[in-house]
Amino acid sequence: MSPIAQPRSRIQQKNREVILDAALEVFSLHGFRGATLDQIAEVAGLSKPNLLYYFPSKEAVHKVLLTGLLDTWLDPLRAMDPKGEPLREILGYVRRKLDLARDYPRESRLFAGEILQGAPRMREAIEGDLRALVTDKARVLIRWMDEGRITRVDPVHLIFSIWALTQHYADFDVQVRAVLGPGHDPFAEAGRFLETLFTRLLSLGP
Amino acid sequence: MSPIAQPRSRIQQKNREVILDAALEVFSLHGFRGATLDQIAEVAGLSKPNLLYYFPSKEAVHKVLLTGLLDTWLDPLRAMDPKGEPLREILGYVRRKLDLARDYPRESRLFAGEILQGAPRMREAIEGDLRALVTDKARVLIRWMDEGRITRVDPVHLIFSIWALTQHYADFDVQVRAVLGPGHDPFAEAGRFLETLFTRLLSLGP
DNA sequence: GTCTATACTCTGATAGAC
DNA sequence: GTCTATCAGAGTATAGAC
């Protein structure tokens, strides 16, 4: 309700970060209801009451994580330049999204778990910011198609396919590695595969 | 430990089914730890002790669900015929997998949640049956590529891409619908989009 | 087979000493 | 700022009446 008091000491800042990192670890593995403050406190190396000194409730910790997340998650799509060369821009987006999945798998799983459970704590953000950005970029894609610079496909489902294919490697990491077996670099292989896939999908035919 | 006593009365059989259906509902929404016996019992229309008369523990209910699941889940891939026409067989697989996601979204989400959490209760099944089937079908795909009947791409990642793209529409249903807005039929649109995608990916170029 | 009652543990959160 | 102690409620599971 009240504006957040920002002046925090170094130790406060540091502890908040430690807690959020621990919470990300635990929430991403067990979901909101499955996660416990005991676990989070243990991973953070703090006592449970001390954790609750920094955040008023379990819900509050979760909310801070989610709030910061969506923005980062949409950055790669935002960076798709309407003035650039279409195929190059789309492949660039795929590459950035895949890198994000590789470098921030816990964030990806936190997000996935939230959506999987019906997005009870993200509904507005999804129906607001997310939808607006997709609608905007879909318009760019349609223009490129109208100009005959890429194949005509459903632009929103094209974006869905990029999300699905990149996040799969973070969210289903266990399955991917179990099936591939040892001696593989899933993300490197995915990068090559996805470049081929989207190039063939979008390059104009003969 | 002991072989399961199979002779069950009609009412027992019926109640087991009611419980498993309720459990699927609740587990798929909240994950194993987030689900409670209270919720499951309520959805099933039974008392909690009565539920525990049919299953010895929460863990046991979850296990029965998962055990039955993987087999059903792999059926569409099993049905891909090595003797058929390659592109037709692959598109048929995509279609069957998408239909499964549309008709059994709860099962899809249960599976997704389990993998997301590191597959603590499915590890062996994934490293065993699942891996074996994928390896087998990958060999079929490679043969088709060797024979010059479809484009050469990484066969295992091709299978991954089918999983990712079809399950996305079940697992992220909330997000898909929020972005598309009203007046859309996500699965129908996905069917057309995916047919285009895999046809363009796999058809031999000029 | 089904219910009420209850044992016992875990979990989120608070009080108050230091 | 951090800790010990503790509470109230929810959670899994069992006992035992009917």
| Exposed / middle / buried, residue B177 (Cβ in 10 Å: 0-12, 13-18, 19+) | middle
Q: How far apart are CA A87 and CA A80, in angstroms?
A: 11
- Domain of B105, in residue numbers: 63-202
- What is chain B's mean pLDDT, rounded? 95
Q: Categorize the per-residue pLDDT at A7 as very low, low, confident or very high, splitting at 50, 70 and 90.
A: low
State residue B144's pLDDT score: 98
The tens digit of pLDDT for each residue in A66-122 reads 998 999 999 999 999 999 999 999 999 999 999 999 999 999 999 999 999 999 999
Is A106 part of a structural domain of the chain?
yes
State residue B173's pLDDT score: 98
**Co-location of B50 and B71 in the same domain:** no
The tens digit of pLDDT for each residue in A26-44 reads 999 999 999 999 999 999 9
Nucleotide nearest to A13 (CA to C1'): D1
Q: How far apart are CA A98 and CA A166, in angstroms?
A: 5
The tens digit of pLDDT for each residue in A151-164 reads 999 999 999 999 99
State residue A203's pLDDT score: 97
| Percent of chain A residues past pLDDT 90, beyond the cut | 92
Boundary residue ending a domain (B41, B56, B71): B56
Q: Categorize the per-residue pLDDT at A4 as very low, low, confident or very high, splitting at 50, 70 and 90.
A: very low
Is B115 part of a structural domain of the chain?
yes
**Co-location of B52 and B88 in the same domain:** no
State residue B10's pLDDT score: 85
State residue B206's pLDDT score: 62
pLDDT surpasses 50 at B85:
yes
Q: Is the CB of B48 under 7 A from strand D?
A: yes
Residue in A113, A126, A164 closest to B165 by CB:
A164
Domain count of the fold of chain A = 2
0.75 exceeded by pTM: yes
Please work out, in degrees rounded to the nearest 5, the angle formed at the alpha carbon of residue A19 by the alpha carbons of A15 and A25. Answer: 150
CA atoms within 13 A on the CB side of B156: 20
Is A138 part of a structural domain of the chain?
yes
Lowest mean pLDDT among A1-10, A21-30, B106-115, B153-162: A1-10
| Exposed / middle / buried, residue A14 (Cβ in 10 Å: 0-12, 13-18, 19+) | exposed
Q: Is the CB of B5 under 7 A from strand C?
A: no
Averaged over A122-130, what is the pLDDT? 94
Q: Any idea what the CATH number is for the domain that residue B137 is in?
A: 1.10.357.10
Q: Does the beta carbon of A132 lie under 8 angstroms from any beta carbon of chain B?
A: no
Is A2 part of a structural domain of the chain?
no
pLDDT surpasses 90 at B196:
yes
The tens digit of pLDDT for each residue in B49-81 reads 999 999 999 999 999 999 989 999 999 999 999
| Cβ atoms within 10 Å of B77's Cβ, excluding its own | 18
The tens digit of pLDDT for each residue in A168-187 reads 999 999 999 999 999 999 99
**Co-location of B110 and B180 in the same domain:** yes
**Co-location of B91 and B140 in the same domain:** yes
Separation in Å, CA B10 to CA A118, B23, B61, B63, B112:
35, 20, 19, 22, 32
**Co-location of A138 and A184 in the same domain:** yes
**Co-location of A147 and A97 in the same domain:** yes
Q: Is the CB of A49 under 7 A from strand D?
A: yes
The residue behind tokens 């509904």 is A123
What one-letter code names the amino acid at A107? E
Q: How far apart are CA A166 and CA A168, in angstroms?
A: 5
Boundary residue ending a domain (A17, A35, A56): A56
Q: Is the CB of B50 under 7 A from strand C?
A: yes
Residue B203 CA from chain centroid, whole number: 27
State residue B182's pLDDT score: 96
State residue A6's pLDDT score: 54
Boundary residue ending a domain (A56, A79, A96): A56
Q: Any idea what the CATH number is for the domain that residue A24 is in?
A: 1.10.10.60
**Co-location of B82 and B28 in the same domain:** no
**Co-location of B191 and B133 in the same domain:** yes
State residue A35's pLDDT score: 97
| Percent of chain B residues past pLDDT 90, beyond the cut | 91
**Co-location of A175 and A74 in the same domain:** yes
Q: How far apart are CA A11 and CA B60, in angstroms?
A: 46
Is A3 part of a structural domain of the chain?
no
CB A144 within 8 A of CB B187: no
State residue A172's pLDDT score: 98
User: Residue B116 carries which DSSP code?
Assistant: H
Q: Categorize the per-residue pLDDT at B170 as very low, low, confident or very high, splitting at 50, 70 and 90.
A: very high
**Co-location of A117 and A149 in the same domain:** yes
Averaged over B86-107, what is the pLDDT? 98
Q: Categorize the per-residue pLDDT at A206 as very low, low, confident or very high, splitting at 50, 70 and 90.
A: low
Averaged over A44-60, what is the pLDDT? 97
Averaged over B10-21, what is the pLDDT? 93
Is A179 part of a structural domain of the chain?
yes
State residue A9's pLDDT score: 84
Q: What is the dihedral of CA B180, B185, B187, B191, to 10 degrees?
A: -100
Is B125 part of a structural domain of the chain?
yes
Contact between B112 and A180 using a beta-carbon 8 Å cutoff: no
Please work out, in degrees rounded to the nearest 5, the angle formed at the alpha carbon of residue B107 by the alpha carbons of B184 and A134. Answer: 35
Is B132 part of a structural domain of the chain?
yes
**Co-location of B104 and B48 in the same domain:** no
Residue in A31, A127, A179 closest to B156 by CB:
A179
> Which string of b and e fits A134-172 if b means at least 16 CB within 10 Å?
beebbebbeebbeeeebbebbbbbbbbbbbbbbbbbbbb
CA of B25 to C1' of D12 (A): 19
H helix or E strand, kind and range, residue B157: helix B155-171
**Co-location of A43 and A73 in the same domain:** no
Q: Which chain B residues are within 8 Å of A181, Cβ to Cβ? A: 131
3-state secondary structure of A148: coil
